[in-house]
Structure 1
Amino acid sequence: MRNDRSFIELRARERARTLLDDGSYRELLDPFDGIMSPWLGAQGIVPQSDDGMVVAKGTINGQPAVVIAIEGTFQGGSMGEVSGAKMAAALELAAEDNRNGIPT
């Protein structure tokens, strides 16, 4: 079995961790926050802990960054309402950081 996977083959959390500097990864909405779409069960889809999107904050080459990673194995990488809300919150966080003089 090959264990030198490409960046594309990594799961969302692994990609986010790989992008950020070692030791700087901080997931903003972790799997235990329990944010889930109410529509998945009605469609016969088993809810997953993160609705297919990971939002993390850390640094890249020492500079503050907010990272969004989409999990391709969750409904083929599609986005639902929870993922959309997470993305909007991540963008707002980055914008707020910038307003406060933190280049994100």
Structure 2
Amino acid sequence: MRPNMHNKESFIELGARQRAKAILDSGSFREILGPFDGVESPWLEPQGIVPQSDDGMVIAKGTIQGKDAVVVAIEGSFQGGSMGEVSGAKMATAIDLAAEDCLAGKPTIVVLCLETGGVRLQEANLGLA
């Protein structure tokens, strides 16, 4: 299966949102908890880091070859693709919901685009404080 590439950029050079759109069938992309929903990590601002309102994690629903699908894509340009509390919760919930759909008889494909530098351990440390 070749992703829907609408330009000549390589897939790896695309941002997370563009990758999700390229993987899903044309016109089926629907973002869950996108940048306008204002879900961001409360731990970045105290460190002097400007938060990103999708926390560098794109969750999209759509179809792949007509079958239900969820794409989880990490934005590598935000904090080196590191995962924090919010982005981790978004990924875990998306996978859990897809698993629930499968158990309910609605097969759902899950695609992970993991351009990540690991986890933001400083968030865990600040959470303990």
TM-score normalised according to structure 1 size: 0.94
Q: Which residue of 1 aligns with 2:4?
A: none
Question: What is the SS of the residue equivalent to 1:85?
Answer: helix
Distance 1:88 1:61 in 2: 24
Note if 1:6 corresponds to 2:23. no
Q: 2: distance between equivalents of 1:50 and 1:34?
A: 7
Computed over aligned residues only, the root mean square deviation of the Cα atoms, in angstroms, reads 1.0
1:76 maps to 80
- Moved >3 Å (runs of 4+): none
The letter of the residue matching 1:27 is E
Q: Is the aligned partner of 1:15 residue 2:12?
A: no
* Match in the other structure for 2:51: 47
Of the candidates 97, 100, 104, which is equivalent to residue 96 of structure 1?
Answer: 100
Q: Deviations over 1:56-102 (max 9, x none)?
A: 11000111111100000000111001010000110111011112211
State the distance in 1 between where 2:26 and 2:8 align.
19
| Superimposed CA distance per residue, residues 7-50 of structure 1 (whole angstroms, 9 cap, x where no aligned partner) | 00001100000000011111011211111111100111001121
Per the alignment, residue 26 of structure 1 pairs with 30
C-alpha distance in 2, partners of 1:35/1:63?
28
Contiguous gaps of at least 5 residues in structure 1: none
Structure 2: how far apart are the matches of 1:93 and 1:8?
27
- Number of residue pairs matched by the alignment: 102
TM-score (norm 2): 0.76
Could you say which residue in structure 1 is the equivalent of 2:40? 36
